[in-house]
Structures are given as C-alpha cells and as structure tokens.
C-alpha cells in the first residue's frame, strides 16, 4: 500500500505515463525546435492550479478513483524510501514503458523513463502561485530521439512535449473540477466516416495546447 505522504508520486506517474509512451498521433512539424542541451531536447512547461499546494498534493491521496483509473494502465511499486518504480502499457495496447520516480523533497519529484519509445527524464516542482492563485506546477522534460527516429527525420519530434502539456492540462482539470471534459461522442448527424474525420480534427485541437 502506498503511504499517504508520498502518494503524490502519482502526479509524476501522470506525467510520465503521458509522455513515456511517446504519442503516435501524426501532426505538423513544429517551426520552433525545442532547446537542446548535451544531446537532450529540453522543454519547460507550467500550469497553474487554482488550489493551495497541500490540496494539490492531497488530491492524489484522497481520490480512490484515481487509483482505479491508474490500475488500468500502470502499477506503482516502492523500491525504497523515496524511490518508486512505475510500469505501464500504452493506452493503444502498444509497447509498455517503465519509469523510476524519485521524490526529492516537499513538492519536487523526478522521473526517468527506463524503458519506452523515447528516452526521457523529467522534473516536476510545485510552488505557490502569487496572489493566492493556487499552485504552479512546473515541469522540465528532457528527451532524446533514438537512431531510428533520426533516420525517419523525426529528430525534432515534439510528441513528448505535446503529451506533457496534455498531461498538465488534464491534471489541472481533474483537481479543479473533478473531470476532464469530453465532447467526442456528442450527438451529430455525421456518418461513421465523417465522424472519424472529425475525430482526427478533434485530436489536433485537443493535443498539446498551452498548458
């Protein structure tokens, strides 16, 4: 059983899971290349959650349904003191991934994907937002592109970045209003074929975002 105090590593799982699988959605190449450092692409993204820090951390300990949701695609296992191993399957049933998550202090955690489509590591930090606006979730993500991806010209692949932004947005929404809103199957007069085409557009309009 995961103890209350460190249960918020689940937040790291949320981020790692979204980015660890490496999304396969095709999309336009970005004009701006992410920053590079020592062969790693580095992106920093942040989102502000309108809740105090304790509530953000507490959210992951309170909500049983998160556990249930998590159970479907990842398991969390304690290695020792502050280290956790996280293992998951890609949502589309594809290759799994494995990550190690370390709680580094109050409000800071790191994750490292040890097996997955894109080698990557990340850091997530919670700080108080000014003016009582809640908590800033700041993530820094570093990832490499493997040789195969380079051959196919995917070196500037922005999937982990987009996925990270998705993850932060979803986390914010879950904490603030208890759900991530979905309109995908709202009624329409579309034929199945038209609906599939529209779903592709929905994907484009959903994936990434400002975070």
Determine, following the binding rule CB under 8 A, whether residue 198 of this chain makes contact with other proteins. yes
Integer-rounded Cα Rg, in Å, for the chain is 17
Q: Which stretch binds other proteins (CB under 8 A): 29-37, 82-90, 103-111, 200-208?
A: 200-208
CA distance 87 to 126: 24
* Rounded least distance, CB 18 to other proteins, Å: 16
State the DSSP string of 49-110: ESS-HHHHHHHHHH-HHHHHHHHTTEEEEEEETTEEEEEE--TTS---EEEEEEEEETTEEE
Residue (75 or 198) nearer to other proteins, CB: 198
Restricting to residues 132-161, name those near other proteins by CB under 8 A: 133-134
Binding other proteins by CB under 8 A: which of 53, 189, 192, 196? 189
Please give the backbone phi and psi of residue 135, each rounded to the nearest 5 degrees, phi first: -125, 135
* Rounded least distance, CB 98 to other proteins, Å: 30
Binding site for other proteins (CB under 8 A): 48, 50, 133-134, 169, 172-173, 176-191, 194-195, 198, 201-202, 204-210
């Amino acid at each position: 059983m995961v103890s209350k105090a460190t249960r918020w590593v689940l937040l790291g799982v949320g981020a790692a899971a979204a980015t660890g699988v490496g999304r396969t959605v095709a999309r336009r190449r970005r004009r701006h290349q992410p920053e590079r450092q020592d062969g790693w692409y580095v992106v920093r993204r942040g989102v502000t959650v309108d809740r105090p820090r304790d509530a953000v951390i507490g959210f992951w300990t309170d909500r049983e349904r998160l556990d249930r949701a998590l159970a479907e695609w990842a398991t969390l296992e304690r290695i020792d003191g502050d280290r956790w191993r996280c293992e998951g399957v890609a949502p589309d049933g594809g290759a799994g991934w494995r990550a190690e998550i370390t709680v580094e202090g109050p409000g800071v955690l790191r994750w490292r994907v040890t097996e997955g489509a894109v080698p990557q590591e990340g850091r997530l930090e919670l700080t108080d937002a000014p003016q009582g606006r809640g908590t800033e979730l700041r993530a820094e993500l570093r990832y490499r592109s493997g040789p195969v991806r380079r051959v196919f010209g995917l070196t500037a692949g922005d999937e982990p970045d987009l996925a990270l932004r998705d993850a932060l947005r979803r986390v914010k929404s879950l904490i603030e209003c208890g759900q991530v809103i979905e309109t995908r199957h709202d009624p329409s007069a579309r034929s199945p074929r038209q609906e599939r085409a529209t779903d592709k557009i929905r994907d484009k309009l959903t994936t990434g975002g400002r975070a």
